[in-house]
Chains A and B, each alone.
Chain A
Amino acid sequence: MPVMTYIDAINTALREELTRDENVFLIGEDIGKMGGVFKATKGLQEEFGAERVMDSPLAEGVIVSSSIGAAMSGLRPVAEIQFADFITPAMDALTQQAAKLRYRSAGTQTCPLTVRVCYGGGVGGGLYHSQTNTSWFIHTPGLVVVAPSSPYDAKGLLKAAIRDDNPVMFFEHKKLYRSVKEEVPVEDYTVPLLKAAVKRAGTHLTAVSYGYTLRLTLEAAERMKQEHGVEVEVIDLRTLAPWDKETVLDSVAHTSRVVIVHEDNRTLGIGAEISATIAEQAFDCLDAPIVRVTPPDIPAIPAAAAMEHFYMPNVDKIVAAMEQVIRY
């Protein structure tokens, strides 16, 4: 089984889906001849031609909207948004059109498109190349929001997203692209949408995260075991909307303590929703207040290293939160 980076897994998934289904095509800025700013689509235009791997005008609104129309016509578009920070021109297309089309046509018109979005901080990208804005879309029923944390899941979830009959927002953390490697099967496989994964079993504390911060959470869990003998159960949400309540609440029923880690802003980030759901549906299970590890509510991530470090969740912050919850 070959060892792949996260970006290789994305590229492989796209190649396999382009090969498998002639209705699949890619559209976005710089994805063709250049192969994408992060090289996610490297080599694909040479292999599949300029029509199926299409360099679009610099207009996110038309990238997503034309994908909606093409998807309505039976194609399977995969649109790329170069940086999550640049998605705002497509907000009407995503939240008013794609999210609502099935609903407002009573299921008679649908748009099975996938929107790949490169997100996340920690690379010194500064105010407009670092954002995590998954919450905007989690807050929009009708969209499926996915954010894989590993190469294996990246390939399997992307293939599942492309084959899914709903509009899927697929968030790829730029810091993961080349920092993680693992064995990824060359065979065709999918990872189911809407299902969280228990990445590490534990009995003392449930830690919930996704994407890049999931990996930090796993490191923190290992430290809790080494330093305190605390067994942390780590849940990777994988799909953020609609999120897998059952897996999270089942875990909380066993551990009675919860830490939630994410890179979205704190207010109305998915941690708020998970906390509220636990309070509503698993209140008797709790032995300690839920603690969130999130960035502060500031408009954007500063580029300067010290400020970015202050902003980002990290292993120390997560360990501190876990210790607080365990000590309560």
Chain B
Amino acid sequence: MATAIASIGDEQAEIPAVIAPSLREGAEFEPLPEATLRRLYTYMLKCRTVEEKIRILFKQGRFSGNYFAAVGQEATAVGTTLDLLEKDAIAPSHRSFITHIMKGTPLKLLFAQLYGRKTSPDQGRSAPAHCGYAPLNIITPSSTIAAQLNIGTGIALAFKMRREPNVVIALSGDGSTSLGFWHEAMNFAGVQKLPMVFVVINNLYAESVPLYLQTAVTDISLKAQGYGIPGVSVDGNDVVAVYQAAREAIDRARAGEGATLLECKTYRWYGHSEIDPAKYRTPEEVQEWKQRDPIVAMEQRLEGLGLWNEAWKQELIAGFRQEIEEAVDFAEKSPVAEAEECLDHVYSFSVRERELDRKVWSPKFEVVRR
């Protein structure tokens, strides 16, 4: 895994370089508190358990639409969003559903979302994975890639203008970096020193298109130089490395020192979505990355510290499964919206009357003019 920062020359020294601890030459990890290590692991395991269940439910036809699993990438979502403040914002992409779990969106609402029920954050409007959650400042994402980054700059601008110590975690994939939006957002964040962390989850494929057809650089973090902000590349399957780098970036942002681009190199185990068999990748490549499972890696690390055993893992999974079953039950028993509710929430005022009324006007020549 190459380090982006290594290629930044001395002439760029005025750009503060944030280097992930795992990538600093000869650097040792600052030991994280045991509780933090355990929580990083616990959340990764929870995200994995939830998404594997979602995939089964989809294959069983229990909900329609589609799903965009981040299985294999848990370290990136968990490491960048653990311990955010309630008002910190997340600008998610379509594969960021599990960041809801990190921020605290109730699981039953997320399953209601998958099922398109009235009880979901958007009352059944969007595709399964595209919901925000206003109470926790998670932007409702769209399917137009990278748009959330630019919108995120505005939330960060509001934090800055109001002198609030909050940050925006803006998530996108390697494909997003080809869009103008991505560059506009990075540029504006650089100019205005916005409290943002741009997390590029580089899983090597944008749907089917490999990285080398997306960009001529191998380290996306290099692009940060063009915007006067630090760029960092980390092993996105090392949750501790991701967490350490993200904390540095978040701390800088909170301190008013501006944005950071954090590239997490990782891999999605499954297709772009549940209907994509991902035949553009070789089985050997997939297998190789599965050997680098971020959860297994963390288990080994924790075990070495005497913080993990199989019984604890099974206990955790049992707890997650119970919570998931309750959430599925809530979703399946939730009502769907009435058909005509499709006319609601267009404006702050109702358009129902306008859309449903077909009043006919008749000639009124006899009426006295105004």
Measuring CB to CB, which residues of chain A are less than 8 angstroms from any residue of chain B? 25, 51, 56-57, 59, 61-62, 65-75, 77, 89, 92-93, 96-97, 100-110, 141-142, 144, 164-166, 194, 198, 201, 203, 242, 245, 249-250, 252-254, 256, 280-285
Q: Are B153 and A66 within 8 A (Cβ)?
A: yes
Total chain B interface residues with beta-carbon distance under 8 A:
51
Docked Cα-Cα span, A106 to B364, in Å, equals 41
Stretch in B180-188, B234-242, B285-293, B327-335 touching the partner: B180-188
Judge whether B153 and A105 touch: CB under 8 Å. no
Are A285 and B122 interface neighbours, CB within 8 A?
A: no
* A107: B residues at CB distance < 8 A: 344-345
Are the C-beta atoms of A59 and B187 separated by less than 8 Å? yes
Cβ contact within 8 Å between A65 and B153: yes
In the bound assembly, the distance between CA atoms of A298 and B273 in angstroms comes to: 42
**Does B142 lie within 8 Å of A97, measured CB to CB?**
yes
Scan residues 161-201 of chain B and give those whose CB is less than 8 A from a CB of chain A: 161, 180-181, 184-185, 187-188, 191
State whether B156 touches A253 (Cβ < 8 A).
Answer: no
Q: Which residues of B contact A254 (CB under 8 A)?
A: 364-365, 367, 369
Most buried by B among A100, A105, A245: A105
**Which among B132, B358, B361 is the interface contact of A285 at CB below 8 angstroms?**
B361
* Chain B 331-370 interface mask (CB, 8 Å, partner A; 1/0): 0000000000000111111010010001111111101011
Q: Which of B131, B157, B187 contacts A69 (CB 8 A)?
A: B157
Chain A residues within 8 Å of B42, by CB: none
Comparing B72-80, B143-151, B217-225, B313-321, the segment that makes contact with chain A is: B143-151
Determine how close the nearest CB of chain B comes to the CB of A195; give it in whole angstroms.
Answer: 12
Q: Which of B147, B345, B359, B367 has the most CB of A within 10 A?
A: B345
Given contacts A68-B151, A105-B345, A285-B363, 8 further A-B contacts (CB under 8 A): A62-B153, A62-B188, A69-B150, A70-B155, A104-B125, A104-B126, A105-B121, A242-B351
Smallest CB separation, A290 vs chain B (Å): 14
In the complex the two chains form, what is the Cα distance from A214 to B157 in whole Å? 39
**When chains A and B are docked, how far (Å) is the Cα of A108 from the Cα of B136?**
11
Q: In the complex, A249 Cα to B358 Cα: how many Å?
A: 12
Closest B residue to A142 by beta carbon equals B346
- Write the residues of chain B forming the contact surface with A, with a CB cutoff of 8 angstroms: 121-123, 125-126, 130-132, 134, 139-140, 142, 144, 147, 150-159, 161, 180-181, 184-185, 187-188, 191, 344-349, 351, 354, 358-365, 367, 369-370
Q: B207 CB to closest chain A CB, in angstroms? A: 19
How far, in whole Å, are A284 and B354 apart by their CA atoms in the complex? Answer: 21
Q: Which of A66, A68, A198 has the most CB of B within 10 A?
A: A66
Inter-subunit contact B130/A69 (CB<8 Å):
no
- CA A270 to CA B370, docked complex, whole Å: 26
Considering the complex, give the chain A residue whose CB is closest to the CB of B135: A108
The reply to whether A93 and B361 form a contact with Cβ atoms under 8 Å apart is no
Question: Once bound together, how far apart are the Cα atoms of A104 and B359, in whole Å?
Answer: 29
User: Among B134, B161, B185, B347, which residue has the most Cβ atoms of chain A within 10 A?
Assistant: B347
Give 4 nearest A-B pairs by CB, closest first. A69-B154, A65-B150, A73-B158, A66-B154
Name the A residues within 8 Å of B185 (CB-CB).
62, 65
User: Once the chains are docked, how many angstroms separate the CA of A252 from the CA of B360?
Assistant: 12
B134 near A109 with CB under 8 A, answer yes
Is the Cβ of A106 less than 8 Å from the Cβ of B125? yes
Inside 8 A of A71's CB, which chain B residues have their CB? 154
The interface residues of chain A lying within 8 Å CB-to-CB of B134 are 105, 108-109
Can you list 21 A-B pairs with a CB-CB distance of less than 8 A? A57-B184, A57-B187, A65-B184, A66-B151, A69-B152, A69-B154, A72-B155, A73-B155, A75-B158, A93-B150, A97-B147, A105-B131, A106-B122, A108-B122, A108-B132, A245-B354, A281-B358, A281-B359, A282-B360, A284-B360, A285-B362
Provided the pairs A69-B155, A71-B154, A106-B125 are in contact, do residues A281 and B142 lie with their beta carbons within 8 angstroms? no
B150/A166 in contact, CB under 8 A: no
The interface centre, meaning the residue of B131, B152, B359, B361 with most chain A CB atoms within 10 A of its CB, is: B361
Closest chain A residue to B161, Cβ basis: A51
With a cutoff of 8 Å between Cβ atoms, the chain A residues found around residue B364 in the complex are 253-254, 285
CB–CB A101/B140 < 8 A: yes
Who on chain B is nearest to A67 by CB?
B154
CA distance in complex: A66, B149 (Å):
9
Distance between Cα atoms of A253 and B31 in the complex (Å): 80
The minimal Cβ–Cβ distance linking B232 to chain A, given in whole angstroms, is: 23
Nearest Cβ in chain B — how far from A90, in angstroms? 10
Inter-chain contact B126/A61, CB cutoff 8 Å: no
Residues of chain B contacted by A97 (CB below 8 angstroms): 142, 144, 147, 151
